[in-house]
Amino acid sequence: MGKKAVCLISGGMDSAVSAAIAREEGNEIYAITFDYGQRNKREVESAKEIAKWLNAKHKIIKVDLRQIGGSALTDNIEVPEEAHGIPATYVPARNTIFLSFALAYAEVVDADYIFIGVNAVDYSGYPDCRPQYIKAFRNLANLATKRSVEGRPIEIKTPLLYLTKAEIVKKGYELGVPFEKTWSCYREREKHCGRCPSCKLRKKAFKEAGIEDPTEYEN
Amino acid sequence: MGKKAVCLISGGMDSAVSAAIAREEGNEIYAITFDYGQRNKREVESAKEIAKWLNAKHKIIKVDLRQIGGSALTDNIEVPEEAHGIPATYVPARNTIFLSFALAYAEVVDADYIFIGVNAVDYSGYPDCRPQYIKAFRNLANLATKRSVEGRPIEIKTPLLYLTKAEIVKKGYELGVPFEKTWSCYREREKHCGRCPSCKLRKKAFKEAGIEDPTEYEN
């Protein structure tokens, strides 16, 4: 049996590929997904399907970020079609909150790793996806837990940090990630809208990777 | 009107004194308390009374840490009378989770400060109360938020970090903190038990400060 890895699975493509890499490296996967009051419920359903595909233990953590507010992903703010600067879909301190829970869970199950699918290349301008942010969280994780005091800190792994979205698609394709089960669209509907910033990135990634896009888009 | 300060209020003595200092410095207080599934419900009630005394806006955030487990404070594990090393009352990554929420909330209300009553002197051996941990979180806060990208990072203030418990009591006494409304006991009962590690620290603090202890103890 390999080491244990807590993998954050959102239901999107990146976290699915990141977790598939964790599994390929021989780790036992403890997937976690946050039901944080996101307007789009499809994400959590997609996460369940990905966790099943990974044969992972899967924990869905309820943390209602609507108590905090401040984002188009949780509040009744319209998701814009074009994003400039830090977009309205930014959720204040979301990755910090999610990584904190991952850290706690990794300590409880005695995992050596946390895998998160953050990406600094084709990212959406979120401050908590930048390499310097990850470095700072890594430093924090080295000090925050009982395990760290015992000289066994929990390592934060970000295998997608410097990949382009097209490279992520290629890597996932090699590992057999069922992309048709992943969900990227910011809007809550049957099919991907094809027009929001997240759908546009998804389409572009498959096109640039030269891999057939299995996604059904409205447009 | 002063600057805004998000103050973590647990219901205990330290966070009440920390918030009283924030108010003394002229800040507008946004108190937050975590209803995290702690076995002891008295803590949240005490926090409400302290927030009222502070004339603070008060937000109670529900975050069920029983989903994660691993602590005597949330699980059905006995609280030991004597603590050695990192005690069973340690809650995995609790301060990291709480500070992450405080960071998100500070961003939403546009606060300049977060006040947390951590203490590195008479502390309970928790890794996430050490100065090097706070330094690491401060560094993270400088990178994690939209405000930090805009050059207005949120500052983490820890006015009690290097005070002894007796000095904290003296400081609170000067500021008129109603200690009789605070709660320290790990056990859930009408009066403080007087025997758990937290009650022992509380008793000792008043004694060493030479200030009359208004607490009713069973023993």
Mean pLDDT of chain A: 90
* pLDDT-derived band at B22, boundaries 50, 70, 90: very high
| Three-state secondary-structure class, residue A147 | helix
Statement: residue A126 has pLDDT above 90: no
Q: What is the ipTM of this complex?
A: 0.89
| Three-state secondary-structure class, residue A49 | helix
Q: Can you tell me the mean pLDDT for A96-112?
A: 94
Most distant CA pair in chain B, distance? 54
Q: Does domain B4-184 have CATH number 3.40.50.620?
A: yes
Statement: residue A149 has pLDDT above 90: no
- Mean pLDDT lowest among A6-20, A103-117, B86-100: B86-100
Burial class (CB in 10 A: 0-12, 13-18, 19+), B128: buried
| Single pTM value for the model | 0.91
Predicted pLDDT at A124: 65
Contacts of A89 in chain B (CB under 8 A): none
Q: Can you tell me the mean pLDDT for B129-142?
A: 94
Domain boundaries, chain A: 4-179
Q: Can you tell me the mean pLDDT for B19-29?
A: 97
Q: Can you tell me the mean pLDDT for A176-199?
A: 92
- Segment B137-152, tens digit of pLDDT: 999 999 998 888 889 9
Beta-carbon contacts of residue B65 (< 8 Å; ≥ 6 apart) = A104, B36, B37, B71, B74, B91, B94, B97
Q: Can you tell me the mean pLDDT for B36-46?
A: 86
Q: Are the Cβ atoms of B104 and A90 closer than 8 angstroms? A: no
Rounded to whole angstroms, what are the CA distances from B159 to A205, B56, B155? 49, 19, 12
The angle formed by the CA atoms of residues A143, B35 and A41, to the nearest 5 degrees, is 90
- Segment A56-86, tens digit of pLDDT: 999 999 998 888 877 666 666 565 565 556 6
Q: What percent of chain B has pLDDT over 70?
A: 89
Q: Can you tell me the mean pLDDT for B198-216?
A: 95
Q: Can you tell me the mean pLDDT for B33-54?
A: 91
* pLDDT-derived band at A30, boundaries 50, 70, 90: very high
Q: Which helix (H) or strand (E) holds B49?
A: helix B42-53
Best mutation target, B61, B65, B68, to test chain A (most A CBs within 10 A):
B68
From the CA of B60, how many Å to the nearest CA of chain A?
9
Predicted pLDDT at B127: 87
Q: Which residue has the higher pLDDT, B127 or B13?
A: B13
So what's the architecture of A4-179 in CATH? Answer: 3-Layer(aba) Sandwich (3.40)
Q: Are the Cβ atoms of B59 and A69 closer than 8 angstroms? A: no
Statement: residue B187 has pLDDT above 80: yes
Q: Can you tell me the mean pLDDT for A156-174?
A: 97
* pLDDT-derived band at B92, boundaries 50, 70, 90: confident
Q: Can you tell me the mean pLDDT for A120-141?
A: 87
* pLDDT-derived band at B124, boundaries 50, 70, 90: low
* pLDDT-derived band at B186, boundaries 50, 70, 90: confident
Q: Which residue has the higher pLDDT, B93 or B138?
A: B138
| Chain B residue closest in CA terms to A60 | B67
In this structure, what are the phi and psi dihedrals at residue A205, rounded to the nearest 5 degrees? Answer: -65, -45
> CA-CA distance, B17 to B177, in Å (whole number)?
7
From the CA of B62, how many Å to the nearest CA of chain A?
8
